[in-house]
Amino acid sequence: MQTLSDPHRLHQLVRQWHQAGERVAFVPTMGNLHDGHIALVHQARSRADRVVTSIFVNPMQFGAGEDLDAYPRTLEQDKQRLFDAGCDLLFTPETELLYPAGLAQQTYVEVPGLSDLHCGTSRPGHFRGVATIVCKLFNLVQPDIACFGEKDYQQLAVIRTMVRDLNMPVEVIGIPTVRERDGLAMSSRNGYLTEAERAQAPELKRTLDLTAQGIQSLGLTDRNTLEQQAEARLRQHGFTPDFVRICHGQTLAPAQPGDTQLVILAAAQLGRARLIDNLTVDLTG
Ligand SMILES: Nc1ncnc2c1ncn2[C@@H]1O[C@H](COP(=O)(O)OP(=O)(O)OP(=O)(O)O)[C@@H](O)[C@H]1O
Ligand SMILES: CC(C)(CO)[C@@H](O)C(=O)[O-]
Ligand code: BAL
């Protein structure tokens, strides 16, 4: 596995692969790799001749007062995991090379509407930062396919919309959330939890499961009550909920009676960690 930090060298190498007719898959990450990331790399490996992974803690998607500086950086361990998973090229760019004009660059990618809901309301500018960096990385890697986790459900929806609206020739693949044995979605930020908080953390997924059961038995006419009950339950278990929302699975608008493909989105603070999770609900059966 090669490791490159120079965007121009990366671009030259992947151009050679494309000229040789090889199919390139891309897995963008912020590092501190866990089994969720590795599932993306395995999926990429099974679908392409070459796998490129990036590790870049993108300052543009962090708000003031967020955990940009504290974000866990474990490069040597990550390299070993990527090598073992069959990654061909690790891209670890320097911030100055990806943002030559600084973070106040003149050009951004905005996906309005979707980016302003849910996590976007709590983290203003977050999805603009995500869409902009993913667009930059796509320009450099020029992947045929790119793999993203369904754990970051709204992020995946924003990226799919960007790719569709800007005619980007990339197939976006969503990968199911990889969980710990007790149901907690794997996330780099789980490392912020104390032992006591870690013991409470699976209640986020349990709350989603209970809310899904409530939808199955009561339908959507009392959506607000189900959401409020879910938030109250999270409070009882030591979380400070940001939101639990029952949404249309594609638009992420509030679900309406008659909708059949739903997603329950949740975000909650637990100690130092802002945890997110989601669960899809199919009402067609
Ligand atoms: N548990 C998981 N299962 C599947 N994919 C995941 C999981 N966690 C993260 N991913 C995906 O890995 C990619 C990189 O995510 P990122 O590096 O931010 O990891 P993370 O663990 O989600 O970190 P954070 O705590 O910052 O949210 C994204 O596409 C994300 O959706
Ligand atoms: C997609 C991404 C790598 C962009 O910085 C990041 O938001 C993430 O890790 O999910
Ligand atoms: N996994 C999403 C990246 C972020 O929270 O900034």
Computed over every residue of the chain, the mean pLDDT equals 97
Which residue from 61, 68, 90, 126 has its CB within 8 A of the most atoms of ligand 2, so it is best to mutate?
Answer: 61
What is the pLDDT at residue 99? 97
- DSSP symbols for 136-191: HHHHHH--SEEEEETTSHHHHHHHHHHHHHTT---EEEEEPPPB-TTSPBP-GGGG
The full set of domain ranges for the chain reads 2-175, 188-282
Spatial separation of the C-alpha atoms in residues 26 and 3, rounded to whole Å: 14
Residue 108: pLDDT over 80: yes
> Among candidates 148, 156, 146, 147, which has minimal Cα distance to 118?
156
Ligand 2 centroid, distance to 67 Cα (angstroms): 14
248 is catalytic: no
Contacts for 118 with CB less than 8 Å, ≥ 6 apart: 154, 243, 245, 247, 252, 265, 267
Predicted confidence (pLDDT) per residue in 17-40, tens digit = 999 999 999 999 999 999 999 999
Assess whether the C-beta atom of 36 lies below 6 angstroms from ligand 1: yes
Q: What percent of the chain has pLDDT over 90?
A: 100
Predicted confidence (pLDDT) per residue in 167-216, tens digit = 999 999 999 999 999 999 999 999 999 999 999 999 999 999 999 999 99
What is the pLDDT at residue 154? 98
Residue 139: pLDDT over 80: yes
Ligand 3 centroid, distance to 83 Cα (angstroms): 23
CATH number of 188-282: 3.30.1300.10
What is the pLDDT at residue 7? 96
* Atom number of ligand 1 nearest to Cα 149: 31
Q: Give whole-number Cα distances, 18 to 5, 6, 12, 49, 89, in Å.
A: 20, 19, 10, 10, 14
Tokens describing residue 248: 């249309």
Tokens describing residue 245: 């929302």
**H or E stretch including 129?**
helix 126-141
Ligand 3 centroid, distance to 120 Cα (angstroms): 11
Per DSSP, 192 falls in state: G
Q: Give whole-number Cα distances, 192 to 70, 188, 278, in Å.
A: 10, 8, 20
Architecture (CATH level 2) of domain 2-175: 3-Layer(aba) Sandwich (3.40)
Residue 82: pLDDT over 90: yes
Residue 223's CB is within 10 A of a number of other CB atoms, namely 22
What is the pLDDT at residue 238? 98
Predicted confidence (pLDDT) per residue in 204-233, tens digit = 999 999 999 999 999 999 999 999 999 999
Q: What is the mean pLDDT of residues 41-63?
A: 98
At 242 the three-state DSSP class reads strand
Residue 285: pLDDT over 90: no
pTM above 0.95, yes or no: yes
35 is in an annotated binding site: yes
Place of tokens 């059961």: 213
115 is in an annotated binding site: no
Q: Give whole-number Cα distances, 206 to 36, 80, 248, 283, in Å.
A: 19, 33, 21, 19
* Atom number of ligand 3 nearest to Cα 274: 5
Spatial separation of the C-alpha atoms in residues 101 and 96, rounded to whole Å: 8
Q: What is the mean pLDDT of residues 130-151?
A: 98
